[in-house]
Structure 1
């Protein structure tokens, strides 16, 4: 039977570990602050965007948070706490029986019903129990004080690594992350299983100290099985870990005979000595630095990838509106809003003898002048109606440009998972509501400018019988690009009126361009709510550089 190896021996002169782990009672060293800052950075380093490889990065981050919060920080803050010895392994390996045998009583269920370990049990000497107060392991395991447990250590019976219940498997993995020492229990028929070996390698990468128990071995096959397992351990780099063999005692109930478990129990007693406990913790914490730094750098790279995708999405969303925004500006500058219904209404009213004919040419004689004056009320109403038709056409032109911009945003975003994620946050109804509000503001402000500029205009001729409201309406119609209305403004309001029309049309087209570009706003607001922090990667890289000084 192999007993304890140099892997668990005290580590004299371990200066770098001493720098990372303060002696009990001393003020915490800067390393603790670095790890606390690292945890704060990890908590805020969300990976919300669905980009290639993000799930693996999220798993890395979550595992790293678990390691730092539940393992490294507690170890650094409270070196005097007992060593956490997690007894884990495959289903039916006899973990619970071994724990019960160490404490010489049945405190955790053992039997043929699987899984037997549904609630993790942490057994600890009563005088060490208070030291576990506030320790993360106490939040997920039931603490059971037992006098027989060696001082300086706590023994935890973990759920099966290969449990049929996903929650149990996840809890078993989390407990391995909490361990200072992981005792891998296997049997002569299960030691080749892949899952425990994968966890052995993962635990070693985390800097967790290891031991192996080969349990329930048929005495007839003891030599062969022990040799084969030891060769496997040697081949995979675990040849120096403490290795114990417990022969099969056949059908039985309760704890194992003391002789069967004695060497393992004696080893635990030695391990529980304060000096030995601290060396194990120091080795565990120090051994975690290289992998920890690599993990932090890997998460920082993933966070930086999020920042770049976030920036790319912002630029993509803004760029998607450009074509529609520029087109609506061109259309309005060219009189596009007057095409169709406004032009038809104008031609119907301004043709010879029509109600709007006086706007284009003065009366030819007294009879015609008299007829113009009789139709003043109807003419003013016709101009108001024409204004309504023209404004509706302008609104429709701009709204359609905005709708095209929204469609372009959605179409462009559909090519990536993160883009689809973004557009799913903004419903068509939400985009339409924002658009309606934006256009209402546009035309309200434009109408104010129209009123201000028209107040500066006076009629050069008053033969059309227009009042102030009709004057404003005529200028607005002309500003939308209706050619006949522009000629009417030039005749009735001279060059000053023409200049005002030109100014108003330029304002309308420019503001329409901005309103169309504004289709991006609701998407950019949604993007900002995802919580991508521009400085998160930089902070994590800083933490990684600080960790380098403690290796």
Structure 2
């Protein structure tokens, strides 16, 4: 970063800050170019009282804690669309980038060159300033740069290896260019070696932070996260833009070493404009920041400022980076600021995890509650006689009043001709069996559909819940649900028949004299199970009571046993069907990869471990 010969006219203005006044700045060419980069034997980041981040006894532990923090942060996943997803991913990626690209490389390689990032607004003259600071043209200027996303890094040729993929931003492609660094492909880092750069210092010309292309200012933020010192450039027309202050506030919150340049300052109204700019810096907690003003000038030649336009900025950089101790002060301040920032940034990430956990719990509870209610409603409908309406009731009344049941009883020992059962079987028995099956199927499908609708309604109240439904095709019921219900009811009917056979009239003395049609009396038992007693009063006494028929045949105790087992079996089968339907929603939640409570706890623990280790 060589200095041009002094000229009588000084157009660069140092407005003070960071404890370095204009009078304190070097008056002659004693900039960073006059110093060799001395290599530290201990490679420590020492604070003012002599404690070291990389002391021999603690450096390995500190690195292990940072590695553990990185792995913990990296493992956190967020479910798309749900509350906390966007904020959480941004926070996670921000922390990861800074750990990978700034903190860990400097812990593992403490002699990394000091990196000065020149960042700022579109059209602020960043590239012109970079060329002026370097002392030769290393980057292109003009209207094309804002449309590209190819930052240029200028450094001494001896430091080029430091910025290879091995040490610096390993995931970013890069190209090395000799002489003038032309813009590379979008997203490519351009390395520009220059003998004008002192060894141990690099300057980075970053993309615009207020680019209309979101990827550009995200890319700029990534490079700012890797820098030891920010030189932030904005214009007299754009310094009040929100995007400018977002970046400046990040530097403030992380205690990053910072200098601010206000460019294209018109002569008319200059004092008032600088007063307002300084007031904004004060209001945003940046009152001690070094600040500079570059006048609106056409004194540009060869893509660099002419005369003394950039001298004050160059002298400031010479002051803060000229000697090894001074450079360590800059890097130490930024490094410590980043480590300090993790005390709040990691817990903030944990809070976004907790937000997702809470959303996931809300969604899961909605599914559980809806299907628990569905099972309860099905149980109530079975017990209160709700099913004994319409076709089912008509079938029962028809078969009960017809004498069919009486005809199924026969005295033992009386032989019937082969095929007599089939010839005398009344079709009304089969019709009643089908009516019971249809009613139970309709009940289960109805409560499942209402539960599914309730889940979707509840999920609609949570941001991103509807997207989960659509993404995982969570219809109210599965396409094959009716068929599964029908099979389950048929299996239940078969099971009840087996109960009647195993625990029925065979235990009573009447069984020695009377045999009966098990299928027919199984249907009678089912009518009793479906709540006939609850609706008997409304039906009158014209229809025989199923309970009276069954008790006379089986006996009260045996009937109670069969009744209890059949009810329990039916409810269990309905519960299984509803559980399978609920699982479609819970599986959608699992597929969304919502973080768990342990993820937040472990992030808090990692923060605590870092606090102890530092």
Q: TM-score range by the shorter chain?
A: 0.7 to 0.9
Correspondence for 1:391: 437
State the Cα distance separating 1:125 from its structure 2 match: 1.5
Is 1:415 the counterpart of 2:478 in the alignment? no
Q: Secondary structure at the match of 2:231?
A: strand
C-alpha contact 1:159 1:171 (8 A) present in aligned 2:
yes
Q: Matched residues in 1 for 2:117 and 2:587: separation? A: 47
Q: Distance in 1 between the 2:50 and 2:465 partners?
A: 47
Query: 1:87 and 1:343 mapped to 2: Cα distance?
Result: 85
Mapped partners of 1:144, 1:476: distance in 2:
90
SS at match of 1:200: helix
Match 1:538 to one of 601, 607, 610: 601
Unaligned residue ranges in structure 2 (runs of 5+): 1-12, 26-39, 173-187, 533-543
Q: Which structure's residues are more often helix, by fraction?
A: 1
Look up the match of 2:72: 41
**Which residue matches 2:407?**
358
Give the C-alpha shift of residue 268 in structure 1.
4.3
- The match for 2:52 among 8, 19, 26 is 19
- Tell me how far apart the structure 2 counterparts of residues 220 and 351 of structure 1 sit (CA, whole Å): 108
Matches of 2:278 and 2:360, distance apart in 1: 51
1:210 equivalent in structure 2: 258
Task: Tell me what 1:506 maps to.
Answer: 567
Query: C-alpha distance in 1, partners of 2:500/2:275?
Result: 102
TM-score by length of 2: 0.74
Q: Which residue of 1 aligns with 2:36?
A: none
- Residues 512-551 of structure 1 correspond to what in structure 2 (within 5 A)? 514-515=575-576, 518=579, 519-530=581-592, 531-549=594-612
Residue 127 in 1 paired to residue 167 in 2?
Answer: no
Q: 1:434 & 1:135 partners in 2: Cα distance?
A: 56
Deviation at 1:381, TM superposition (A): 5.7
CA-to-partner distance for each residue in 1:45-96, whole Å, 9 max, x for gaps?
3443766676545544443333333332333332211122111122222111
Structure 1 residues 117 and 391, CA gap change in structure 2 (3 angstroms): closer
User: C-alpha displacement at 1:305, in angstroms?
Assistant: 3.2
Instruction: Give per-residue Cα distances to partners, 1:260-297, cap 9 Å, x unaligned.
Output: 44554465466165443333222111122333212222
Q: Closer, same or farther in 2 for the Cα pair 1:37/1:180, shift >3 Å?
A: same
Candidates 335, 341, 355, aligned match of 1:305: 355
Residues 323-472 of structure 1: pairs in structure 2 closer than 5 A: 323-352=373-402, 355-359=404-408, 376-379=422-425, 382-417=428-463, 419-425=465-471, 427=473, 429=475, 431-433=477-479, 435-436=481-482, 439=485, 442-443=488-489, 446=492, 449-450=495-496, 452-456=498-502, 457=504, 460=510, 471-472=518-519
My pick for the range that moved more, 71-80 or 84-93, is 71-80
Q: CA deviation at 1:527?
A: 2.0
Distance 1:218 1:405, change over 3 A: closer
Change (3 A) 1:311 1:277: same
Moved more, 340-349 or 445-454: 445-454
Name the TM-score, length of structure 1 as normaliser. Answer: 0.81
CA RMSD of aligned residues (A): 4.2
Distance 1:17 1:91 in 2: 42
Q: Are 2:148 and 1:148 equivalent residues in the alignment?
A: no
Number of equivalenced pairs: 540
Q: Structure 1 residues 532, 472: CA separation in 2 closer, same or farther (over 3 Å shift)?
A: farther
Shift of 1:471: 1.6
Deviation at 1:494, TM superposition (A): 5.3
Aligned ranges for residues 91-240 of structure 1 at < 5 Å? Answer: 91-113=122-144, 115=146, 118-133=149-164, 134-137=166-169, 139=172, 141-187=189-235, 190-215=238-263, 233=281, 236-240=284-288
Task: Name the CA distance, whole Å, in 1 between partners of 2:300 and 2:606.
Answer: 54
Q: 1:116 to 1:371 in 2, by over 3 A?
A: closer
Distance apart, 1:502 and its partner CA: 0.8
**How far apart are 1:22 and its partner, in Å?**
5.7
Matched residues in 2 for 1:157 and 1:87: separation?
5
